[in-house]
Amino acid sequence: MNIVLLGPPGSGKGTQAQRLERDLGMVQLSTGEMLRATVASGSELGKRAKAVMDAGNLMPDDVMLGIIADRIVAPDCAKGFTLDGFPRTVAQAEGLDNMIAEKQIRLDAVIEFKVDEAALVERISGRFTCAKCGAGYHDKFQRTATEGICDICGATEFKRRTDDRAETVQARLDVYNEQTAPILPHYAAKGVLRAVDGMADIDEVYRQIGEILGTG
Ligand code: AMP
């Protein structure tokens, strides 16, 4: 199965994508993670990406479409993939349509995470990930079982995203409303759009996704 998770920053897309990968082998394709890896590499593109991301803006559509075009044809994606953070503009959605039609890949569902925007700032500002395996945690909603130790790999170092600062979060929410939310009617018209309650707890959101995908 190939799906898109669509929702504002902090709505829980990454958490659910990680679970789908763990349980169903659907590869998590997070464009944000790919860009953070590019930033860490220190390349020219990485330097450009860092400035764009720290301002809460979006990278150009052609760059993102190029990244995804290469990724979805990789052998590991044959089992299925979850697009997490892509598409983010109508132009990206249209580019994805063309790409998958050409490669004869089917998009099974686009799942919208419905959330209360006011709660997102708290959600975003508390999140952190394991520096080694990338498992996601939250100061309040998803703590490690043992303080300071990753549940998954036992590592003791964690990181926080520089664009998760409160001043950047509002800019990212505005960008979502202006540039990403207009994708919703695009997919509604195709009959593939479904929704989950992104304010429910992690297990409940996962259950709702399972119901949509017929895997629950
Ligand atoms: P995310 O981890 O999905 O919240 O993405 C972090 C940042 O990476 C975003 O705020 C954007 O600056 C950039 N980014 C991620 N995905 C895309 C995309 N599909 N199009 C443009 N910019 C993106």
Q: Among all chains, which residue has been given the structure tokens 């939250």?
A: 138
Minimal CA–CA distance to 94: which of 206, 213, 187, 216?
187
Q: Which of 48, 161, 194, 207 is catalytic?
A: 161
Helix/strand/coil for 45: helix
Q: Which one-letter DSSP state was computed for residue 39? A: H
Beta-strand (E) ranges in 47-115? 81-84, 109-114
Q: Could you tell me the distance, in angstroms and rounded to a whole number, from the CA of residue 8 to the centre of ligand 1?
A: 11
| pTM summary value | 0.92
Cα-only R_g, the chain: 17
Under 8 Å between Cβ of 5 and 108 = no
Q: Which of 19, 36, 123, 172 is catalytic?
A: 172
Dihedral of alpha carbons 49, 136, 86, 121, sign: negative
Mutation test residue for ligand 1: of 30, 31, 168, the one with most atoms within 8 Å of CB: 31
**Per-residue pLDDT tens over the stretch 4-49:** 999 999 999 999 999 999 999 999 999 999 999 999 999 999 999 9
Helix/strand/coil for 127: strand
Is residue 38 within 6 Å of ligand 1 at its C-beta?
A: no
Minimal CA–CA distance to 110: which of 185, 176, 20?
185
Q: Atom of ligand 1 at shortest distance to CA of 13? A: 3
One-letter amino acid for residue 47 of the chain:
K
Among protein residues, the one with the nearest Cα to ligand 1's atom 15 is 32
Establish whether 36 is a catalytic residue. Answer: no
Widest Cα–Cα separation across the chain: 48
**Per-residue pLDDT tens over the stretch 152-201:** 999 999 999 999 988 899 999 999 999 999 999 999 999 999 999 999 99
pLDDT at 166: 81
